[in-house]
Copies of this chain bind each other. A is one copy, B any other.
């Protein structure tokens, strides 16, 4: 049976890296005999917004809900549409309406990629950030009072539910169980944010009782960001709230030098709704249209999608193909950001060929 994949390329370099993502997926599908069927959608881009006054058609949910996965490029083009409109009107809708309550990002030192950290080698850093993806600090509750006066007060609620906290913790503990080191780190700030964060800590303690084989520790977010830089080798699975997870899952790839090529998965683990796979990088208006964007983030996201669909071996093979091409270091093939003179296409093609 075919797996139905919805393609939404979005804006800027999203439209350039997407064809390479598909090329790599097609090559992998062929080798592993997987049946993938792609359907492309034009909505979810700022150009669509300029034409229709909204980022998505009214029936987007109906159109997309039957797919097995969404393969997503990048959204946003601030000169056309303010970010909070383009993002809340598309990506953040998918995450919420499709209850993609897990945002998963690998932080891995890759061969041939220069880490900004001194003296770190591939193998030294290899962990996952698991981010809560639907509630917490990203709420729509709050407002303004005394607007426009000196007494102006602006309030926004952080909202945590037991359901929301427990399910992301459960996912993180189970992920930790599949890893050789079986270690979980919780991001908190219970010494300063004195209502929601102590609650988060309590739920971690409670959940840990069900996973006695997992070694659990926690750090306040301030010193945790410091430790990402100072001791990235300490981490295996790191779990955080929506905001803390957001921060850590940019900082982690920055520390491994992979911020331009890191992938991410927005997952509905029960499979009630499609999950969404997207590179960490944005639409990068500054380099859009030049054919020089690195397609690895898109391709690596495709590998995560394959794993999610049940093809771990195929996903691993695609990651290995990426590593192989990076190791080979052919400057005709690699894009500029990784020290070459190649194009989006030359790099995408090399990876597809390596499969």
Once bound together, how far apart are the Cα atoms of A110 and B224, in whole Å? 22
Q: How far is the CB of A97 from chain B (nearest CB, A)?
A: 17
Residues in B neighbouring A158, C-beta threshold 8 A: 137, 142, 155-158
**Interface residues on chain A, number (Cβ under 8 Å):** 62
Residue interface bits A165-204, CB-to-B below 8 A is 1, else 0: 0000000000000000000000001111111101100000
B160, A153: Cβ atoms under 8 Å? yes
| Distance of A297 from chain B, by nearest CB (Å) | 14
Residue-wise interface mask of A (95-128) relative to B, using a CB-CB cutoff of 8 A (1 in contact, 0 not): 0000000000000000000111111000000000
Q: Which of B84, B141, B163, B223 contacts A150 (CB 8 A)?
A: B163
Q: Which chain B residues lie closer than 8 Å to A246 at the CB level?
A: 189, 192, 221-222
Interface segment among A34-42, A248-256, A304-312, A326-334: the answer is: A248-256
**A interface, by DSSP: helix, strand, loop or mixed?**
mixed
Is A243 an interface residue when CB atoms closer than 8 A count as contact? yes
Query: In this assembly, does A210 line the interface, its C-beta being within 8 Å of a C-beta of chain B?
Result: no
Given A116-B230, A117-B117, A193-B156, check contact A225 B243 (CB 8 Å).
no
**Is A350 positioned at the interface, with any CB of B under 8 Å from its CB?**
no
Question: What 0/1 pattern do residues 124 to 166 of A give for CB contact below 8 A with B?
Answer: 0000000000000110111110000111111111111111000
Nearest-Cβ distance from residue A23 to partner chain B, whole angstroms: 28
Q: Does A226 contact B (CB under 8 A)?
A: yes
CA distance A152 to B206 in the complex (A): 14
CB nearest neighbor in B for A146: B162
Asked if A192 meets B157 with Cβ closer than 8 Å, knowing A223-B250, A250-B225, A251-B226, the reply is: no
Query: A178 → chain B, closest Cβ, in Å?
Result: 26
The answer to whether residues A84 and B225 also contact, given A116-B117, A160-B154, A230-B116 and a CB cut-off of 8 A, is no
Most central of A158, A163, A191, A254 by chain B CB within 10 Å: A191
Q: Tell me how far the C-beta of A202 lies from the nearest C-beta in chain B, rounded to whole angstroms.
A: 10
What residues of chain B lie closer than 8 Å to A194, measured between beta carbons? 84, 88, 138, 140, 156
Other 20 A-B pairs with CB < 8 A, given A117-B229, A142-B196, A156-B194: A84-B190, A88-B194, A137-B158, A138-B194, A142-B158, A143-B195, A144-B195, A149-B162, A151-B161, A153-B160, A154-B199, A155-B157, A155-B195, A156-B158, A158-B158, A189-B243, A225-B247, A225-B250, A226-B250, A226-B259
